[in-house]
Structure 1
Amino acid sequence: MQIRKKTDIDTILDNFSSIAEWDAQGKKLYFIFPDRKRGGQWTLMYYTGDRFSIHGLGENYMDEAEYFFEDRLSLVSFLWDNRSAFNSAVRQAIPDKLAT
């Protein structure tokens, strides 16, 4: 699952559980990928009710709280802007045959 065009993002979001890990304590799915602009990492999280959020963490920074996307278009825009880092993390997280 790679982001090559914006429509790929909808497929990824609809099948998020295939790449994400489960956090039993937080009751959410999450996927971590590099935050190349700030030199840390993003955690993309999914909660039931089709709610997605992000949180950034790095050596010299930590976002105070999760940012919840108000709409799917904002989430798609965020992932499109960070597609290179996201794609790299997906390739490392799942076997090569699934990363196509």
Structure 2
Amino acid sequence: MLIKKKNDIAFILENFKQLAQWDATGQKFYFVFADRKRGGQWTLMNNSEDRFSVHGLGEDYMDEQEHFFDESSQIHSFLWENRAAFNAALKPATMCS
């Protein structure tokens, strides 16, 4: 499912584990998509405590640490602002399934 409306985000988050890859070392699910503002990539993660976080990495920058979303409104705002890039990364994955 793509993010077309704000309430699509709740569905994405509830089904994140089906969309994401598993990192056995870090013990978390992750999904990578473009950081169009800074010209790199975002990694959205969901850990074993079911907390979401994000980390940015690009050619000219690297976030020092992952940022945890303390409130659901924060992750909803983040995904809404980055929905075009998220959707673009999601489309190839949904076409294969």
Q: TM above 0.5, one fold?
A: yes
Structure 1 unpaired stretches of 5+? none
Rounded Cα–Cα distance in structure 2 between residues aligned with 1:43 and 1:61: 14
Deviation at 1:77, TM superposition (A): 0.4
TM-score, normalising length from structure 1?
A: 0.93
Q: Does 1:36 align with 2:36?
A: yes
What's the offset of the Cα at 1:95?
A: 1.5
Stretches of 4+ moved more than 4 A in 1?
Answer: none
Is it true that 1:64 corresponds to 2:64 in the alignment?
Answer: yes
**Residue 56 (structure 1) shift:** 0.2
TM-score, normalised with respect to structure 2: 0.96
Structure 1 residue 9 and structure 2 residue 9: aligned? yes
- Secondary structure of the structure 1 residue equivalent to 2:30: strand
Within 5 Å, give how 1:17-56 maps onto structure 2.
17-56=17-56
Q: What value does the CA root-mean-square deviation take over the aligned residues?
A: 1.1
Percent of counterpart pairs with the same letter? 59
Aligned residue identity for 2:54: I
